[in-house]
């Protein structure tokens, strides 16, 4: 427990000496063990990141210098700006590699802990609120994954409608089998009007005559197969459409846009002023390329609409968002 | 004068409404609307230099911007003959393949979010179409920063950074592919940066203000979010070479169309906006009609409300008429789409009247059939060329 609390406090205090980060309060909350069942902390899944964080932060805190560089980008959220710009490359530029690794680790740790907090808060929210409707409810509905139907035009599925769907489908199947197997032959239902036979029907429709020679088993197999395959195809297409609706339209779900500075290649020509001296006698040199300052070589930059999440509505998109789902 | 004014970007509503002549009935858009507005208390930044002294009315200040725009356009036309291509423009996005992809994406975004407007752009020449798409996407992205589903993560600093990116792209250093499309558009057409900056200023304004004391304030807001769009698109639409009207008058008409569109938007969405805590109607006029904010929030259509709405609609129609005078001065190829959008958006006012002025619960929209009928009507009216005496 103490290790937990120390670890959770250490990174925050080390990284932002001047202003206490808002997360400090959360970490303080977590440090109190009263609502944390002890067994949670012993789960290896949860424990190991803490231990790593503990060891690394303790070692680096002893060895770290003032590392004032991280104050530039790393401070409290009020100074952080989520929109990328040409100077965002300068954020964190003064940090050492070890510091960067520690920062990343501690932040991921914080994210993990905060997600757990969100989960517990949602549990409380559900227990306290009687109904989950109105506009707030709609917001939640958009955050948590709904069960949309994969059959086009059908409304959203619940247990009740699923049972109805089973009943309807099974009864249809039963009815058609009954009709085809028993009722139709008994009533001697023929295909055409006025009791014409299959062959006459084919001839009347001016279809190729070999169709009348088709074996009944082959015919039913083909018909069934065509039905199943086309249904599967339609359902898949509908599913793709549904998923596409959730994608950010600007970046097509990738979260990134092509960097314009390097035309998505990652490298730019280094623009240095041409030296005048000796330029006449020296042959033209191949222009040197450098890492693109906009995207630092990635070739792509953040999509500001979905904030790099690729979703139409950016959320943390985690299973912990709704524990009752 | 631009029909592109359809895209009256209004942070007051969901951005889709702007570019939107179609009913906002899709669930997705409803969901977007339910998102809370960013309520960031920010210190009022210095108002843009062109609208400096607060003692003059908004109409005058906006008119000054229009004059400046017109003057710039004339200057740019003279310079273009002598100008060598700036070196910064050559750097960076040289691959025309990426540029074409960017423009295509702009078209996709436009088609996705503003279907009727997109169809309208298909009436334009291909070059103009792409330019209009690029401008649309920029405006929409800007609007989504403060009004989109992820707006809760946006701080005032984000808008400053966005403005910086705008400055960079006007200097030929676009940041991402959509900026690149706009940078290319800006290099091909004499578009000025001031309307874009004013639009960002309008976004900042919307973060703070939810009530407008008089029409003057409302007019300034309408300029920021909608009039600017008109000013942005006039250089793209182009003024007819045989037009005798002054550049200022055409820009004025464009401005009027933007304001008219925004007013129509406001009048259509009174109920929805009120439910979000925003009333875009002048408080003094409401008081004069004997109405208060509570009446609006209650959402009951009374005779007082009907009388008030009649006056508002009359004023919006006046702006449309003023705008129509300028459409005929545009380039022949641009008159039809612009006139079509003007007539379509004007129909919304008729729809409000048909709803018996109930803009609290009923959505006024123009049906598909009516839209289709208006197309040939617009074509007919667009055949009229520039006026003989240049009076726009």
Cβ atoms of B348 and B363 within 8 Å: the answer is: no
| Mean pLDDT, residues B274-288 | 90
Q: Does B115 touch chain A (CB under 8 A)?
A: no
Tokens 């900042």, residue located: B204
* Contact check, Cβ <8 Å, B144/A305: yes
Chain A hits for B165, CB-CB cut-off 8 Å, are 83, 85-86
> What is the nearest CA distance from A100 to chain B, expressed in angstroms?
24
pLDDT digit string (tens) for A47-57?
444 343 334 43
Residue in chain A nearest B112 by alpha carbon: A249
How much is the average pLDDT of B166-193? 93
pLDDT average, residue stretch A212-221: 86
Q: Is it the case that residue B31 has pLDDT exceeding 50?
A: no
pLDDT-based confidence at residue A281 (cuts at 50, 70, 90)? low
The pLDDT, as a whole number, for residue A160 is 80
By C-alpha distance, the chain A residue nearest B159 is A83
Chain A residues whose beta carbon lies within 8 Å of the beta carbon of residue B151: none
Mutate which of B87, B111, B148, B176 to disrupt the A interface (most A C-beta within 10 Å)? B176
CB A86 to CB B150 under 8 A? no
pLDDT at site A45: 43
Task: Judge whether B200 is closer than 8 Å to chain A, CB to CB.
Answer: no
Long-range contact list for A69-73, CB < 8 A, 24+ apart?
A: A69/A93, A69/A94, A69/A95, A70/A15, A70/A16, A70/A94, A70/A95, A70/A99, A70/A103, A71/A16, A71/A17, A71/A18
> For chain B, what percent of residues have pLDDT higher than 90?
46
Q: Tell if the CB–CB gap between B168 and A79 is shorter than 8 Å.
A: no
Whether B315 has its CB under 8 Å from any CB of chain A: the answer is: no
Lowest mean pLDDT among A185-189, B204-208, B211-215: A185-189
Whether the per-residue pLDDT at B286 is higher than 60: the answer is yes
Is the pLDDT at A189 greater than 90? The verdict is no
Q: Choose among B183, B234, B320, B266: nearest CA to B8.
A: B266
For residue B202, is pLDDT > 60?
A: yes
Cβ <8 Å between B174 and A260 = yes
| pLDDT surpassing 80 at residue A69 | no
Tokens 């006459």 belong to A200
CB B113 to CB A301 under 8 A?
Answer: no
Partners of B145 on chain A (C-beta within 8 Å) are: 83, 304
Interface test with A, best of B99, B150, B152, B166 (most A CBs within 10 A): B150
**In this predicted model, what pLDDT tens digit does every residue of B355-387 receive, in sequence order?**
999 988 888 888 888 888 999 999 999 888 887
User: Residue B277 — very low, low, confident or very high, per pLDDT cuts 50/70/90?
Assistant: confident
Region B305-309 average pLDDT: 93
Q: With beta carbons under 8 A apart, name residues in chain A contacting B91.
A: 268-269, 271
- Tens-place pLDDT, residues A37-49: 444 434 344 444 4
Q: Please indicate if any CB of chain A lies within 8 Å of the CB of B183.
A: yes
Q: Compute the average pLDDT of residues B334-358.
A: 91
Q: Do A250 and B157 touch (CB under 8 A)?
A: no
Q: Is pLDDT of B316 > 60?
A: yes
Q: Is B180 on the interface with A (CB under 8 A)?
A: yes
Q: Do A249 and B91 touch (CB under 8 A)?
A: no
pLDDT in tens, A90-131: 777 788 899 888 998 888 888 888 888 888 888 888 777 755
Cβ of residue B34 closer than 8 Å to a chain A Cβ: yes
User: Are the beta carbons of B246 and B70 closer than 8 angstroms?
Assistant: yes
- Per-residue model confidence (pLDDT) at position B200: 93
B285 band by pLDDT with thresholds 50, 70 and 90: very high
The answer for residues whose C-beta is within 8 angstroms of residue B187's C-beta and 6 or more apart is: B89, B172
Q: Region A254-281: what's the mean pLDDT?
A: 75
Q: What is the pLDDT of residue A282?
A: 65
Instruction: Confirm whether pTM is higher than 0.90.
Output: no
């Amino acid at each position: 427990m103490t290790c937990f609390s120390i670890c959770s406090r250490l990174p925050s205090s080390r990284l932002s000496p001047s202003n206490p980060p808002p997360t400090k309060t959360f970490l303080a909350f977590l440090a109190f063990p009263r609502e944390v069942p002890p067994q949670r902390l012993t789960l290896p899944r949860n424990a190991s990141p803490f231990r790593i964080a503990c060891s690394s932060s303790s070692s680096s805190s002893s060895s770290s210098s003032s590392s004032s560089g991280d104050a530039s980008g790393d401070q409290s959220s009020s100074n952080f700006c989520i929109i990328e710009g040409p100077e965002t490359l300068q954020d964190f530029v003064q940090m050492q590699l070890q510091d960067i690794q520690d920062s990343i680790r501690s932040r991921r740790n914080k994210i993990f802990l905060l997600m757990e907090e969100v989960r517990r808060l949602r549990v409380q929210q559900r227990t306290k609120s009687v109904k989950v409707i109105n506009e707030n409810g709609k917001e939640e509905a958009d955050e948590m994954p709904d069960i949309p139907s994969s059959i086009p035009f059908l409304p959203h599925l619940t247990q009740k409608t699923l049972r109805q769907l089973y009943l309807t489908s099974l009864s249809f199947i039963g009815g058609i089998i009954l009709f085809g197997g028993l009722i139709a032959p008994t009533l001697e239902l023929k295909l055409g009007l006025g009791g014409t036979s299959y062959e006459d029907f084919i001839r009347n429709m001016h279809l190729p005559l070999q169709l009348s020679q088709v074996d009944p088993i082959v015919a039913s197999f083909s018909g069934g197969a065509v039905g199943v395959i086309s249904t599967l195809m339609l359902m898949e297409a509908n599913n793709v459409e549904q998923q596409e609706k959730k994608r950010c339209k600007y970046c097509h779900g990738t979260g990134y846009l092509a960097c314009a500075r390097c035309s998505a290649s990652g490298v730019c020509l280094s623009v240095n002023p041409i030296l005048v001296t000796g330029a006449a006698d020296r042959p033209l040199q191949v222009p040197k390329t450098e890492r693109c300052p906009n995207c630092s070589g990635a070739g792509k930059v953040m999509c500001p609409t979905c904030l790099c999440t690729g979703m139409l509505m950016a959320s943390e998109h985690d299973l912990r968002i709704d524990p009752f789902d | 004068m631009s029909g592109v004014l359809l895209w009256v970007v209004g942070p007051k509503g969901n951005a889709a409404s702007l570019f939107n002549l179609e009913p906002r009935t899709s669930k997705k858009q409803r969901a977007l609307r339910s998102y809370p507005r960013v309520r960031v208390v920010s210190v009022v930044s210095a108002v843009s230099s062109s609208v400096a002294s607060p003692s003059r009315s908004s109409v005058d200040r906006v008119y000054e911007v229009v004059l400046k725009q017109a003057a710039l356009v004339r200057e740019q036309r003279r310079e273009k003959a002598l100008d060598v291509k700036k070196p910064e423009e050559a750097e960076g996005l040289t691959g025309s393949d990426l540029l074409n992809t960017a423009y295509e994406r702009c078209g996709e975004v436009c088609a996705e979010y503003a279907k009727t407007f997109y169809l309208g752009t298909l009436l334009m020449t291909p070059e103009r179409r792409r330019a209009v798409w690029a401008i649309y996407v920029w405006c929409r992205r800007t609007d989504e920063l403060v009004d989109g589903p992820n707006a809760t993560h946006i701080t005032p600093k984000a808008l400053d950074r966005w403005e910086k990116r705008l400055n960079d792209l006007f200097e030929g250093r676009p940041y991402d592919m959509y900026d690149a499309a706009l940078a290319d558009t800006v290099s091909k057409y004499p578009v000025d940066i001031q309307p874009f900056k004013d639009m960002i200023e309008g976004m900042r304004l919307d973060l703070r203000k939810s009530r407008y004391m008089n029409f003057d304030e409302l007019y300034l807001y309408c300029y920021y979010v909608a009039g600017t769009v008109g000013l942005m698109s006039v250089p793209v639409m182009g003024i007819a070479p045989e037009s005798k009207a002054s550049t200022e008058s055409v820009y004025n008409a464009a401005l009027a169309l933007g304001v008219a569109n925004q007013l129509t938007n406001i009048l259509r969405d009174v109920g929805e906006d009120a439910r979000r805590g925003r009333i875009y109607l002048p408080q003094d006029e409401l008081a004069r009609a004997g109405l208060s904010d509570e009446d609006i929030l209650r959402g009951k259509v009374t005779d007082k409300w009907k009388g008030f709405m009649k006056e508002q609609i009359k004023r919006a129609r006046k702006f449309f008429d003023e705008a129509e005078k300028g459409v005929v001065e545009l380039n022949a190829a641009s008159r039809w789409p612009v006139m079509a959008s003007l007539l379509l958006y004007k129909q919304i006012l008729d729809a409000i009247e048909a709803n018996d002025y109930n803009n609290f619960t009923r959505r006024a929209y123009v049906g598909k059939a009516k839209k289709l009928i208006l197309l040939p009507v617009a074509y007919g009216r667009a055949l009229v060329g520039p006026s003989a005496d240049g009076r726009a």
